[in-house]
Chain A
Amino acid sequence: MKRVLSGNEAIARGAWEAGAHVAAAYPGTPSTEILEELSRFPHIYCEWSTNEKVALDVAVGAAYAGRRALAAMKHVGVNVAADSLFYASFTGAEAGLVIVSADDPAMHSSQNEQDNRRFAQFARVPCLDPADSQECKDFAIAAFDLSELFDTPVLLRTTTRTNHSSTIVELGERTERAPRREKFPRDPAKYVMIPANARKRHPLVEQRVRDIAAWAEKSPLNRMEWRDRKVGVITAGIAYQYAREVLPGASVLKLGLVHPLPQQLIRDFAAGVERLVVLEELDPVLEEAVRLLGIACEGKSIFPLCGELDPTVVRRAAAGAGLPVDRPPLTVEQLALPELPARPPVLCAGCPHRGVFQLLSKKKVPVTGDIGCYTLGLLPPLSALHTCGCMGAGIGVAHGAAKAGIRERMVAVIGDSTFYHGGLPALANVAYNRSNVLTIILDNRTTAMTGHQANPGTGITLQKQPAEVIEIEPLVRALGIHHVVTIDAYDIDALEKAYKELMSHEEPAVLVARRECALLPEIRKRWVPLEVVEEKCTGCGICFRIGCPAILKSEELDPKSHKPLALIDPDQCTGCEVCSQLCPHDAIPTRDQMRLAEEHQPGSCPTPVSGGS
């Protein structure tokens, strides 16, 4: 049976068909849908772990216990999980262990575009790089087999374009696998990595790399496609598709296993073509390996190192290097476009983070940020975020600046899911080493940015089982932080009052700004759009400066100031009332005020009645 599946859906399908029993992940674009999809299949336990390192340890534990296991994460998640990746490489496991690393060339939704094929080289584990959804499924299955064949974790490395492209996939059935062990292994020489044991493992690991390289010579994961021999292209992953599109006549060595590489196969291919080109996205990983074999080739001298490839980029670069392209690159039409307004992503209408950033913007304090929707607090008009590096970094950075003796009070902002992920150890550090950092936990009761995944604060698991809610306030107090205040993130007065109170202490302090994400399905049902009372609005513009996409400029001008009045888009407004509270002219009534006004309006009726006959 054939279906159109995204790369992520296909990886999930492959893991299921391969008989995996356990899968763990932390959400992160472009990897999130792998576990969302896999969790819907029967006979497999799936979880959102608190972070990627924990997810990998969970998968390792399951694989030690003799069950096939998968951990999935975005590329930077592998940084978090790197410690575990390296020990798991030394220990191997009892059953297949696969780590999906979803890289993000072009940084569609990431802070860097690191090439995680480097991690495979670094950690001495094999790496598969699929080129479409069919390969995502096939390689997921092959990864489990390879893992068991050579007693090694396997990195299944994808890129955004393979994760989020959908192509036709032939579905298969699940192969049920009996656990490879009844009891947990007691094999300290293999699984207890004290130096004496690890020293014995290292040569085995290096031998394993050589063994896999020898196996790779005959593996169907790698293949030569002979066409015209004037130009030969060595390529892998999504770049293979661009090679076929743009250089349809060229011979291709398509590598599915990108580490370790089949040396003889590469030599044979190179010997068979007149001009050897390596086409790969991001780092010159394959190019360097080919050069190390003493084979001359071209690669990054033609194709860009930074950013994502696409047919336009590849065609222009290839044509410039005199390669036989399918057709000349189009001269980009000078379209004589007017200046187009940018449309950056924004905090949504009704976003509970807006009030906090409005306050921080007004207070002009230095704010260290973190990864999540609230990173968008950096954008104008709020412009209230001054650093953002990686998950959990903000609190530690604020602490460091405070300890360095900076003469400003540092504020760190972090979301609920990010707090559980990487914020907790950093906050424990603030509590232990005592700095006066104010940490604001923006608790919107979900992992919002990646599409509303459950987390330890939501009371539900990935597979919809009820869970303990890990309460933030008692947790923070238990760290020894005495100044902890929780407010409703929509309550502007309470927010400002709590902020002032907490800033009056020269001690660690935590403000929990709590309110559910307005886009959660059950919250959407409660949206009530507000309206601007034109007679009261003066066009002062204060509401325009909170960056709410539901607040528009009316074509009506204030008769005195000749400035445009505010207008609320009823399709976008959720009725959060942040603008109502900030309006100095009471021109945006709250829901309560609207209801009262309606009740007092003569002739009005709370429920509609049919017209009289």
Chain B
Amino acid sequence: MTANKAWNFVLVGVGGQGTLLASNILAEVGLAAGFDVKKSEVHGMAQRGGSVASHVRWHPEKVHSPLVGTGEADILLSFEKLEALRFAEVLRRGGTAVVNDMAVVPVTVSSGTAVYPGDEHLVRIFASLDAELVMVPGERLAQEAGNVKAANVVLLGAVSRLLPLPEETWWECLAQRVPKKFLELNHVAFASGRAAVTTAGVRA
């Protein structure tokens, strides 16, 4: 692996969507590929259906801050569309936003006090950041793979397509984290996410 570039990831979503497992795997993939890695996440009250964010950093020598600064993420992986907008500012100019095509309607919207923003804002905001926007139908692909809950693994598959690491590194880390009986399902989910991305790599 050419571990000569540092990578900053921010994973966002709604409490309970599986961002923690995805960020764990991402950290382990970085370690397996020879990077120094740090990962940071939020627990507790914020998880009760609130917005959540995990930060993962890979560096060829040494990661200092476990947090990614504003405008410093190479890849924003959002499990939910509204959260992609909320955290858009972490993405650097020219970065890539991988966004799950999924709306989790907050109570503020269902109770009628706020309006869920339309998809046109995603296109506009990430274009204004000169960023690539990759929409992934995570739940649909996970369902096709056999379980809707594997959407987080679909999304990891999508991210894997953007990184110059051998696919086997991902398989190995996935196999360590996933119960054996669900391994096949997760392989299919991962592969379908990987195939769903047509862009190759992240622009410098």
Known A244-B64, A340-B82, A544-B110; further 7 A-B contacts with Cβ < 8 A: A30-B44, A164-B42, A339-B115, A341-B108, A341-B116, A551-B110, A553-B109
Contact yes or no, B43 A348, CB < 8 A? no
Min C-beta distance of A379 to chain B, whole Å: 8
A540 at the interface (CB under 8 A from B): no
Min C-beta distance of A572 to chain B, whole Å: 9
Residues of B within 8 A of A164 (CB): 40-43
A194 at the interface (CB under 8 A from B): no
A244 to B61, CA, bound (A): 13
A4 to B121, CA, bound (A): 37
B71 at the interface (CB under 8 A from A): yes
Residues of B within 8 A of A245 (CB): 64-65
Contact yes or no, A449 B128, CB < 8 A? no
Near A by CB (< 8 A), chain B positions 134-165 give: 148
Known contacts: A335-B89, A337-B121. The answer to whether A544 contacts B112 by CB under 8 A is yes
Q: Which of A29, A132, A339 makes the CB contact (< 8 A) with B45?
A: A29
A451 to B45, CA, bound (A): 10
CB-based nearest A residue for B15: A345
Residues of B within 8 A of A375 (CB): 45
Q: Which of B39, B68, B111 makes the CB contact (< 8 A) with A381?
A: B111
Residues of A within 8 A of B64 (CB): 241-242, 244-245
Near A by CB (< 8 A), chain B positions 44-67 give: 44-51, 63-67
Which of B30-38, B181-189, B195-203 makes up part of the contact surface? B30-38
Min C-beta distance of A317 to chain B, whole Å: 13
Near B by CB (< 8 A), chain A positions 303-326 give: 310-312, 315
Near B by CB (< 8 A), chain A positions 157-182 give: 161, 164-168
Provide a sorted-by-A list of 22 A–B residue pairs whose CB atoms are within 8 angstroms: A33-B43, A109-B43, A109-B44, A164-B41, A167-B63, A336-B124, A337-B88, A338-B117, A340-B82, A340-B86, A341-B82, A341-B106, A341-B109, A341-B117, A342-B106, A342-B114, A343-B49, A344-B106, A345-B50, A381-B107, A544-B111, A549-B107
Min C-beta distance of B76 to chain A, whole Å: 13
Q: What does the 1/0 interface line of A73-104 toward B look like (CB < 8 Å)? A: 00000000000000000000000000000000
Q: Which of A238, A380, A571 makes the CB contact (< 8 A) with B111?
A: A380
Residues of A within 8 A of B46 (CB): 108-109, 345
Residues of A within 8 A of B114 (CB): 339, 341-342
Closest 6 A/B residue pairs (Cβ): A109-B44, A29-B44, A341-B114, A345-B48, A345-B50, A165-B66
B69 at the interface (CB under 8 A from A): yes
Contact yes or no, B49 A336, CB < 8 A? no
Residues of B within 8 A of A338 (CB): 85, 117, 121
B11 at the interface (CB under 8 A from A): no
* A-B pair number, CB within 8 angstroms: 173
Which of A165, A315, A571 has the largest number of chain B CB atoms within 10 A? A165
Contact yes or no, B125 A335, CB < 8 A? yes
Contact yes or no, B48 A376, CB < 8 A? yes
Contact yes or no, B44 A332, CB < 8 A? no
A552 at the interface (CB under 8 A from B): yes
Number of interface residues of A (CB under 8 A): 58
Min C-beta distance of A340 to chain B, whole Å: 5
Residues of A within 8 A of B48 (CB): 345-348, 373, 376, 449
A340 to B86, CA, bound (A): 7
Q: Which of B36, B44, B50, B72 makes the CB contact (< 8 A) with A344?
A: B50
Residues of B within 8 A of A340 (CB): 82, 85-86, 117
A380 to B83, CA, bound (A): 21
A544 to B115, CA, bound (A): 15
Residues of B within 8 A of A335 (CB): 88-89, 125, 128-129
Known contacts: A345-B45, A450-B44. The answer to whether A166 contacts B15 by CB under 8 A is no
CB-based nearest B residue for A167: B38
A545 at the interface (CB under 8 A from B): yes
Residues of A within 8 A of B86 (CB): 340, 343
Which of B24, B36, B70, B124 has the largest number of chain A CB atoms within 10 A? B70
Contact yes or no, A330 B71, CB < 8 A? yes
A545 to B148, CA, bound (A): 29
Min C-beta distance of A149 to chain B, whole Å: 31
Q: Which of B44, B66, B70, B113 makes the CB contact (< 8 A) with A167?
A: B66
Known contacts: A310-B65, A337-B121, A549-B49. The answer to whether A330 contacts B108 by CB under 8 A is no
Q: What does the 1/0 interface line of A103-122 toward B look like (CB < 8 Å)? A: 00000110000000000000
A237 at the interface (CB under 8 A from B): no
